Amino acid sequence: MKKFNTDAITDIGVKKSVNQDALLLKQAHSTAVGDICFGCLCDGMGGLSAGEIASSALVHRMDEWFRVELPGLLSRPDFTESLSEDPSCENIYLRQVEKNWDYIVNEMNVRLQKYGMQKGIRIGTTIVAILVIENDYIIMNVGDSRAYRCSDEECDLLTHDHSYVQQQMDMGRMTQEEAKVSDKKSVLLQCVGASEEVVPSFYYGKCGDNNKYLLCSDGLWRRMEEKEIISMLQRKQALEAMTNLVKKRGETDNISGLVIAV
């Protein structure tokens, strides 16, 4: 059985009275596809009311999907037949996972909007999620919570922020240095629960040897360089060390991260 080494942390930080981040980590084994690891992290919107309700509700729904819906997906006979007939369809499960996650995100967007209207508040959350099946992965993100893939030498950002400053950088109107100090660096183009329409981004890939996948909220990544992430992930209690570092650097947001080592 493949062994995934995992770790997670969530910290209220030095200023906030409520932790609006939520996360989960799960492992399982399927006779159809092998070993599975699932991680999900949500950052309730700090500028919106009851952000912790949005993040916890979405994490709960993703947990329900993992426990209730994923086993049925992995046991579908038509998928097994397709795999035996065409081995190139090795990602057929992950393609269905993409459809599931897209549905869930839009379902929860509607539910959270309705809840907000009933309470007279705006409510929203980011999400970044990863599912690893043996040596294949799928990642989804909405907002500015991120996923990185790290080895002993490299750290690659796998996701693309749905934020105003990222949009400006994509258009060549802002440099990375300007984005870091912009007063609009926390403005999101979309989040679950506070957007009219949500279009998640999806990413696929193969797991390399000794790769580590880091999912984190902006409270963790915003005050760290990628080269620092590489060195930190080689330590014991890496996430705790990262959290303490960004606190020392003045981070006031909630701080959350999870790591899956394959």
pTM for this model (two decimals): 0.93
Beta strands in 50-193 (DSSP E): 127-133, 136-142, 146-150, 155-157
Domain boundaries of the chain, sorted by first residue: 5-261
Cα distance between residue 154 and residue 103, in whole Å: 34
pLDDT tens digits along 83-139: 444 444 457 899 999 999 999 999 999 999 999 999 988 899 999 999 999 999 999
Q: What is the mean pLDDT of residues 42-49?
A: 79
**Does residue 15 have a pLDDT over 60?**
yes
pLDDT tens per residue across span 24-39? 999 999 988 899 999 9
Distances (CA, A) of 29 to 34, 48, 78, 87: 6, 38, 20, 21
Cβ-contact 127, 140 below 8 angstroms: yes
SS3 138: strand
- pLDDT digit string, tens, across residues 184-218: 999 999 999 999 999 999 999 999 889 999 999 99
Buried b (16+ CB within 10 A) or exposed e, 99-126: eebeebbeebbebbbebbeeeeebbbbb
CA distances from 190 to 73, 114, 163 (A): 29, 17, 8
- Using pLDDT thresholds of 50, 70 and 90, give the confidence band for residue 82: low
- Predicted local distance difference test score (pLDDT) of residue 89: 43
What confidence score (pLDDT) does residue 257 get?
98
**Domain 5-261, CATH among 3.40.50.300, 3.60.40.10, 3.30.1130.10, 1.10.10.10:** 3.60.40.10
Please determine, for residue 48, whether its predicted confidence score (pLDDT) is greater than 80. no
pLDDT score at 1: 53
Q: Which structure tokens are listed for 240?
A: 């705790």
For range 155-181, the mean pLDDT: 96
Looking at residue 104, its amino acid is I
